[in-house]
A and B are shown apart, each in its own frame.
Chain A
C-alpha cells in the first residue's frame, strides 16, 4: 500500500482524461492520473503509482531504481503486483 510502483504511461483513456493505461512490469492496467491534473503525464512518460493513483512523474532512471527497490522487497511487492493484476479500475 505504501509502495510507490513505477509505471510507463501507454495511453490516455479516450473518454476519461483522468484515466490512463500504464505498463507495470508487463502488467497493463488502468490507473487514475487525476492527481497530476496540473501537469498530466503523456504516453511514454513514467509515473509513481500509489494504490491506483499516479502521485508524481518520474524519469526512467528513477523508475528503474524504484522497480529494483520493490523487487528487493520480495513478497510484499509480489502481493502488490498481484493486487494490481486483479484491479478493476474503470
Chain B
C-alpha cells in the first residue's frame, strides 16, 4: 500500500513529534481539542498521544452525533416507531443507542417495524413500496449527513410522495464549539477542526474562534500524520502568538465548503431556537428542524411526539467525557458496567465515541506501554 505509507510513515511521525516538542514553551501546559470522533478514533488506534510531549493534552470533543443525542429524543423516536401504521427507518449507528426503555434493536426484536437503512434515499424507496404505511426517517448527524436528508426531502417533494416524513435531529457543530469555549470547566489552547463536516461548511465558520477567542483552528484529515501535522500547525501558531484558521486537509476540504449542500439544507431546514445535547445541556441555535414549507414531511408536526426531557442514567458520565472534563477511563462505569456490548452511555455505542475508541484500542495500548516501561508515561 504505497499510497497509504505516505500518511503512515513512522520516521515522518517521529520527525513531526520532535518539531512539535521543540515548539513547547517550558513550564506551559497545552490543551488541544479534537472536535471530531473520527479523529479520536485515529488518536487512540495509533497511540498518537505517546508521540507528544507530556505538556500537550488532547481533549476529545463532542463531534459524534450518536453520542450527543439526548435520551428524550430516543424515547420520542421509539414513540413514533410504535404507531401502528409507521415504518421507522434508521442508520445502523442509531440502532443500539439506549433510550429509557431500550434501543431500536430491542423494540425491533419485540415486533416494532424499525428498518435499518444505509441512506435516507433507501427510506424513500420503502415509502414508495408501502403506500398504505407512513415511513419516518430518523434523521441524525452533523452537517455531513444533513445534506443527504435535505436532498431526499427535495426528491420526495418532487415526486409528490405523501407518506414519507423526517424526524429531524440534525445538529450543527459551531454552536457546540462555542458552548465549549464559553464553558468555565475547560480552558483550551486550540482546536483540531473536523474533516468531513468541513467539506460541507468549509473553513470560514471557524473564523470567530480565532478572531473572538484568540484560539487557533486547524482543519485536519484522518490519517495519523494528518493529525500530527495539524498539532504541529497549531503549536506553531501558538508559539508565534497567532490565532488563525488553517486547512491541513485541503486535499478534500474546500475553503468555502460545498455550496450545493448548504443550499439544500437551507431550503429544507432552519435553525431551532434551542436543542438539548447530551452532556452539554440546551444550546441555542444548535440544531435544525424541518422548514414550514416542508411541514407535510415533518414527523414532529404529523405525530404527537411526547417531547419529554429524560435525565441520563445516574451512573453515566458521558456528559463530562463529551466536554473533555473526564477521560473515558475516569468514568465510574467505564469497561465494567458500560462496554460496547452493553453500553449505558452513548459514548460507548459509536466506534467514534471516545469511550468505545479507548475501550477498543487505547486501553490495550496503555497496558502494552505500561508493561514495556513500568516507569514511563502511561
Binding site for B on A (CB under 8 A): 1-4, 31-32, 34-38, 48, 50-53, 55-56, 58-62, 64-66, 68-69, 72-76, 79-80, 83-84, 86-90
Contact = CB atoms under 8 A, between A and B. Distances in A.
Contacts of A37: 260
A64 B151 contact: no
Given A50-B145, A58-B251, 4 more contacts: A2-B38, A37-B260, A62-B252, A69-B42
B264 interface: yes
Interface string B1-41: 10110110000000000000000000000000000011001
Interface of B: 1, 3-4, 6-7, 37-38, 41-42, 45, 64-66, 91-94, 116-122, 125-126, 140-142, 144-145, 147-148, 151, 196, 199-200, 222-223, 251-254, 258-261, 264, 350-352, 360
Contacts of B200: 55
Nearest to A3: B38
A33 B372 CA distance: 50
B122 A52 contact: yes
Contacts of B261: 35, 55
17 contacts: A1-B94, A2-B196, A32-B148, A48-B196, A48-B252, A50-B145, A55-B196, A55-B261, A56-B252, A62-B251, A64-B1, A65-B222, A76-B350, A83-B116, A83-B117, A87-B117, A89-B121
Nearest to B249: A62
Contacts of A76: 93, 350-351
